[in-house]
Structure 1
Amino acid sequence: MSGTLAQSAARGMFFTLGAQGVKILLQLASVAILSRLLTPDDYGLLAIVLVIVGAGEIFRDFGLTAASIQAPTLSRGQRDNLFWLNAAIGATLCVIVFFVSWPATWITGLPQIQAMVQCLSLLFILNGLATQHRASLLRALRFKAIAVVDIAAAVIGLGIAIPAALGGLGYWALVLQQLIVAAVGMAGAMVLARWWPRLPDRTESIRGFIGFGWNLVATNLLMYAGSQLDTVLVGARFGTAALGLYNRAFQLVMTPLNQVRAPINSVAQPVFARVQGDQPRFERYVVAGQLALGYGIGIALAVLAALSTPVVAVMLGPRWLEAAPILCLFAIAAMLSNISMIGYWVYVSRGLTAQLFRYTMVSLAIKVVCLVTGSFFGVVGVAAGFAIAPALSWPISLWWLSRLTPMPVRELYAGAARILAVCLAAAFAAAAAGVFAAGGLVPVAQLAIGGVAGLLAAAFFLVFPLFRKDAATLVWFARLMLNRKK
């Protein structure tokens, strides 16, 4: 990676990761505070509602964000048409989900669900209006603007949720947080994108965007169904309290992780799309991207898995300790899925959405089998199935993709093996140190000692040339992030 594009991507990564660092701190503060003010049942109710809302969100975007980013050219008229299409889809889904609240209440047997679903149906309008403004910022590589919007939305949302929870509003504090974040995000994206849509232009065709988006919608819908199956299983078989424990463990791992991966994804997709015609350069992006994801995030997840009990004690409080083994398994699952994320970037950046849909059907089948089998062993069994699924599907992912487009398969397998070796050593060291410190130290001290031990174990691998080469690649990439020259 060299030249202006690489530097732009790296600067974008610098801004977005910095913003996500702030958002992660806000999220952790939110978890630590709200988990002590609200109950597992409150979070269980929100988890059920978000299953419904999340499915609608896939149709609301309709894959048009990725389509507009990936397109080699995008006229003003096409952008206007895409805006109105997203807005119309959002308004339609708002109405549909509003009326879905009645059968959802009947199916779940939970009267609280109706009003929650009806209020959160407004998310479709807010997000539909913001979709193309955010896509415009991403396409222009204006990552700093997106970072400002996201931080402001997170701060204001948390600032509303905490006093609402203190005031005894219960799960309504979580509903308000969702709505405020979406409203602030919409307003910020519209202002900073610096364009206002004109009336639709029939002379500007967006048929190609819809075709691209439809395949991506189908893929994302399958992926979403797989991602929510565990929530449905736990809620249906074990109740809202168990679902609340499961959901808090999931959110404690996945929410910060997604806040890191989302901006990386936002940087990677437009950059990969621009260099797809230069195969050697494209492959260097792919290999470097996997190393950045694997080492940069994987080591932290390995340490988190090893120290799940003190993490739960510190972040959620003593009444949530049953969530510790669930959190451990989620951290393992996140580490494995994190390595395989590079394949998704390649599919989207090269327009292979139809092929991605077919592969997703295979990976979803694997996940369904793992989750359903795990559910016979309780909530922890479901979490175990969640962790086993990416371990089985990731090797298939690379093989499948290599049949469709040139890929540095050998380098990716070798890089993943090195990443997993370092993560495993860090986890064992952190776990051993945590057990040693558990004798008479408070959970915060256990976390500190275990975390240091895990990092030292990871650093030990620098004595080997291959790992020093990986470290040099990461240092080189960090320097690019700090390089402000155009």
Structure 2
Amino acid sequence: MASSLAQAAAKGALFTLSAQASRIILQLASVVVLARMLSPHDYGLLAIVLVAVGFGEIFRDFGLTSASIQAPELTNAQRDNLFWVNALIGAVLASAMFCLSWPLSAMTAEPDLLGITQWLSLTFVLNGLATQHRANLMRDLKLRGLAVVDVLAAAIALAAAILAAAAGVGYWALVVQQLTTGLVILVGVVIVGRWLPRAYSRSTSIRTLMRFGWSIVATNLIGYASRQVDTMVVAMRFGTAPLGLYNRAYQLVTTPLGQVRSPLQSVALPLLSRVQQDGPRFNAYVIAAQLALGYLLGIPLAIVAGLAEPVVRIMLGAAWIEAAPMMQMFAIAGLLTTVSFVGYWVYLARGLGTQLFRYTMVTTAIKIVCIVIGSFFGVFGVAVAFAVHPAIAWPISLAWLSRVTPMPRRQLYQGASRIIAITLAAGATAWASGILTNALGMWGQAAIGTAVGLAVSTAFLALPVYRRDATSLLSFVRLMIKRDRA
């Protein structure tokens, strides 16, 4: 049983990562093409509206995706009821956002925000209808179909956005991209899931699920406010054009990163939930997850940080070069948050919603203080503060989590130390190589810097402790491709 479960999760992770590689390529293509067809002002407008959309999305989901995945048992009637709850919340939020479009436009003195906000309110309806379909696929570890849907949605939405931008509609191309993504995902998950909800059943209680979901909502609200405080500070203090630069640098790093971490969570969360009562196995999976995330994502992030300027020139064009220092800070922040990301999975897998909320309150306060202080040093100061925050929050995370649930804290600290050491070396040598090869142009800098960073990372295998980590990762890869003989 244990072998079968691990193999199922590993195979799901392999296919999901393969699909996400396709999504990352599409995302990078979107950045490269659309950044040359649209302006920083266009992206600044979208960034402002997406703050409101993201806030509403927390309520739209209401934590019921995590609740349905984490639940040891979920009846068909409970699943039906959860669908209708999410659908109703989505409709209410769409109406609310439509009505709020006028005050939002007036408050920001941007009349273009009126239409953008009204049309993007439809995303709540689309996502509300798709929520439980996605949750069911994740709960049953049917990740191949879900991954295919996500890739198709990204590809079709990108094509639609490029056509719209070529037609000269400006920021409306970004609106088209958002709505197309939501529509294709909804149709896709319904087809793949082969499930149609029945009528709401008053005789079936979902109170426990709603209570768990509410604790997740409260936590996500605080976390979202924490994540958006930098965007709002930049928008209010520096305007839409600097916000566009800041947002593109942020998205260039965090969107591909999120597209890897999010689907990995769809594998890890149901797996950890199933073995949460088996302490040794649970700890082993947590340690392995940190190493996998840290090495596989941390090394590329460190190299990107070292080669920020040529990467921005390649991806966005010379007109966006002011975004390079900010992207460097976001890559460092991405590395630090990746090292600590498994802690979030532990909170969810063990149903520690209240404890997660309390911890998030503390770290949010720390982040707000960092961002406010950083804003006195300009937009780049905000980006630096964004990177400083996870450096402070990570040790707090481990200490806090260890107080509320058994955790292999020592092994996690040791693993994180090894990850940070190798990524520092990779990033520093990539940066030095980029400077020394400046005469070769942006492509030469990027190619040589990447090769040197990877070579230095490989050299760490001379140390026994890194060879043991590599052996563990290779064992997991073999598990991914091994046929399930169970």
TM-score class, shorter: over 0.9
* Counterpart contact for 1:229–1:368, Cα < 8 Å: yes
> Residue 80 of structure 2 aligns with which residue?
80
> Residue 460 of structure 2 aligns with which residue?
461
> Residue 362 of structure 1 aligns with which residue?
362
Alignment root-mean-square deviation, CA: 0.8
TM-superposition CA deviations, 1:257-313 (whole Å, max 9, x none): 000011001111111000001000000000000000000000000000000000000
Q: Where do residues 96-115 of structure 1 align in structure 2 (5 Å cutoff)? A: 96-115=96-115
Query: CA–CA distance in 2 between the matches of 1:367 and 1:407?
Result: 25
Query: CA–CA distance in 1 between the matches of 2:386 and 2:475?
Result: 35
Find out whether 1:337 has 2:337 as its counterpart.
Answer: yes
Query: CA–CA distance in 1 between the matches of 2:163 and 2:444?
Result: 30
Q: What amino acid does structure 2 have at the position aligned with 1:443?
A: M
Q: Where do residues 117-156 of structure 1 align in structure 2 (5 Å cutoff)? A: 117-156=117-156
Percent identity, please. 58
> Residue 194 of structure 1 aligns with which residue?
194
Q: Which secondary structure does the structure 1 equivalent of 2:440 belong to?
A: coil
Query: CA–CA distance in 1 between the matches of 2:219 and 2:172?
Result: 32
> Residue 384 of structure 2 aligns with which residue?
384
Deviation at 1:484, TM superposition (A): 2.9
Q: Where do residues 235-254 of structure 1 align in structure 2 (5 Å cutoff)? A: 235-254=235-254
Q: What amino acid does structure 2 have at the position aligned with 1:187?
A: V
> Residue 471 of structure 2 aligns with which residue?
472
Normalised TM-score (structure 2): 0.99
> Residue 171 of structure 1 aligns with which residue?
171
Query: CA–CA distance in 2 between the matches of 1:235 and 1:326?
Result: 15
Find out whether 1:303 has 2:303 as its counterpart.
Answer: yes
> Residue 444 of structure 2 aligns with which residue?
445
> Residue 284 of structure 2 aligns with which residue?
284
Find out whether 1:60 has 2:64 as its counterpart.
Answer: no
> Residue 160 of structure 1 aligns with which residue?
160
Find out whether 1:418 has 2:418 as its counterpart.
Answer: yes
> Residue 9 of structure 1 aligns with which residue?
9
Find out whether 1:350 has 2:322 as its counterpart.
Answer: no
Q: What amino acid does structure 2 have at the position aligned with 1:433?
A: S
Q: Which secondary structure does the structure 1 equivalent of 2:411 belong to?
A: helix
* Counterpart contact for 1:11–1:484, Cα < 8 Å: no
Find out whether 1:23 has 2:23 as its counterpart.
Answer: yes
Q: Which secondary structure does the structure 2 equivalent of 1:442 belong to?
A: helix
Query: CA–CA distance in 2 between the matches of 1:268 and 1:224?
Result: 22
Q: Which secondary structure does the structure 2 equivalent of 1:192 belong to?
A: helix
Query: CA–CA distance in 1 between the matches of 2:35 and 2:441?
Result: 20
Query: CA–CA distance in 1 between the matches of 2:63 and 2:334?
Result: 24
Deviation at 1:163, TM superposition (A): 1.1
* Counterpart contact for 1:86–1:128, Cα < 8 Å: yes
Query: CA–CA distance in 1 between the matches of 2:483 and 2:395?
Result: 38
* Counterpart contact for 1:82–1:132, Cα < 8 Å: yes
Find out whether 1:93 has 2:93 as its counterpart.
Answer: yes
Q: What amino acid does structure 2 have at the position aligned with 1:368?
A: I
Query: CA–CA distance in 2 between the matches of 1:480 and 1:217?
Result: 35
* Counterpart contact for 1:83–1:197, Cα < 8 Å: yes
Deviation at 1:174, TM superposition (A): 0.3
* Counterpart contact for 1:104–1:113, Cα < 8 Å: yes
Q: Which secondary structure does the structure 2 equivalent of 1:413 belong to?
A: helix
* Counterpart contact for 1:61–1:86, Cα < 8 Å: yes
TM-superposition CA deviations, 1:195-243 (whole Å, max 9, x none): 1000011111000010000000000011100111000000110110000
Q: Where do residues 193-272 of structure 1 align in structure 2 (5 Å cutoff)? A: 193-272=193-272
* Counterpart contact for 1:95–1:121, Cα < 8 Å: yes
Normalised TM-score (structure 1): 0.99
- Give unmatched runs, 5+ long, in structure 2: none
Q: What amino acid does structure 1 have at the position aligned with 2:236?
A: A
Query: CA–CA distance in 2 between the matches of 1:90 and 1:77?
Result: 20
Q: What amino acid does structure 1 have at the position aligned with 2:473?
A: L
